[in-house]
Amino acid sequence: MIEAKNLNIEFPINTFKNFSLRKSLIQNVTRSLKVGGKISKLEKKNLSVTALSELNFKIKEGDRVGIYGPNGSGKSTLLKTIAGVYPPTGGEILVTGKINNLLNIGFGFNSEASGRENAKFRLILAEYDDKEINDILERIKDFSGLDDYFDLPIKTYSSGMMFRLGFAIISQINGDIVLMDEWLSAGDSAFLEKVNNKLKDILKTTKILILASHSKELIKSNCNKILQLQNGKIDYYGDIKNDF
């Protein structure tokens, strides 16, 4: 289960000597672009951007939720908040279940370490024991198709190889809740069919799916509910309507 209660996320910008002028300039820019959240004072002479404002929703087992909205609406921020990357600055978010985070293939990677070492670190964080880790590492190597590169520093990898390593790792981590962003549409074409087949297996077994996307078709084909965001606020949350 995932439940948000009056959830707020604010990001401090900087301390400015001329608060009023700088605030007015930045506020006018965000209004003209119609993106992002409201800029306000956190403390004296400090600016902040409100990325998410007073969000209330509940996601239960069996839900497949698509997060939809324009750039700057707060989609990625909400995913990262659910994942525990951003702590709420107001309200709370309650998460029950193990999360499989498919948000960023390179998150937490050490460029000096090998693919195997980076994969092992991820598995340790996911709380697998030593015997499980050794077995899973071989499955990751096989799935990725990296062969000998698996034991070389990842700073020698191309972007396609990084995608292979990142997806191979997260595809082997079990979770009750799967968080997905649109980066999964990237990567080298030779690997994408393998990725799509594995994703189908993951989606069959996960208890909750949350997918952030600009694509209505992607959301309609994978989700039964939609959470629409606009300027960090919920426009609509519920079943996908016929006219979506």
Half-sphere exposure (Cβ direction) of 147: Cα atoms closer than 13 Å: 0
User: Which residue is listed with tokens 């990296």?
Assistant: 146
| pLDDT computed for residue 77 by the predictor | 93
**Is the model's pTM score more than 0.85?**
no
DSSP for 108-135, written as a single string: T--TTSBHHHHHHHHHHHTT--HHHHHH
Instruction: Supply 25's token pair.
Output: 């300039």
- Give the pLDDT confidence of 41-67 residue by residue, as tens digits: 544 456 788 999 999 999 999 999 999
| pLDDT computed for residue 154 by the predictor | 95
CA dihedral of 58, 64, 68, 71, whole degrees rounded to 10: 100
Low-confidence ranges of the chain (pLDDT < 70): 14-46, 105-107, 182-188
Question: How far apart (Å, rounded) are the C-alpha atoms in residues 105 and 161?
Answer: 11
Question: How far apart (Å, rounded) are the C-alpha atoms in residues 159 and 162?
Answer: 5
Half-sphere exposure (Cβ direction) of 102: Cα atoms closer than 13 Å: 31
| pLDDT computed for residue 120 by the predictor | 95
Question: How far apart (Å, rounded) are the C-alpha atoms in residues 191 and 161?
Answer: 10
| pLDDT computed for residue 48 by the predictor | 80
| pLDDT computed for residue 64 by the predictor | 94
The backbone torsions φ and ψ at residue 217, rounded to the nearest 5 degrees and listed phi first, read: -65, -40
> What are the structural domains, with CATH classification, of the chain?
2-97+213-239 (3.40.50.300), 102-206 (3.40.50.300)
| pLDDT computed for residue 39 by the predictor | 54
